[in-house]
Structure 1
Amino acid sequence: MHHKLFDRGVFTLSDSQVFLVAEEAHGSNGFNEWLMKYHGHQIRKPIHPDYQPNKIFLGWHVREVFKGPERYVVS
């Protein structure tokens, strides 16, 4: 599920590995559970550094795929 949503630009990761949901993303069943509860939170670090997301590819994803801007984060 998350892979497809990532590919469609519904969410992305910031340079500091924070999970960001696009402002125009919406949904019904599962939207809060699958996406919004992670919005604005830093993801866990991978077990091995080789699995760390590549910043070059994440930058491309933000520019070319992400349906930003990100939603407002309430803390």
Structure 2
Amino acid sequence: MEFSLPNDENSLIFIKYFEDYTHQEIASSLNLPINIVKERLRKSRRRLRINYRLFTRWFNASLKCGNIHSPGAQISSPESGL
């Protein structure tokens, strides 16, 4: 299963949250309108959220089936309440 983001979305998330660029700085550096940058970030965050949920379901199901051998290594997701 593939849980990663496309390279352009991954770069955008990295620049925003790890390099701490503002929307305006990203827009200027990519030569894009600020509303396009905001929309792409919104879509990237949504895809990241979906991938995280899918990964936690896959990981926890793998633990239950015995495909992953790590006692007590369950990953909690926000909606599971763990």
Q: TM-score, normalised by structure 1?
A: 0.30
Q: TM-score, normalised by structure 2?
A: 0.28
Higher helix content, 1 or 2: 2
Q: Which structure is higher in RCO with an 8 Å CA cutoff and minimum separation 6?
A: 1
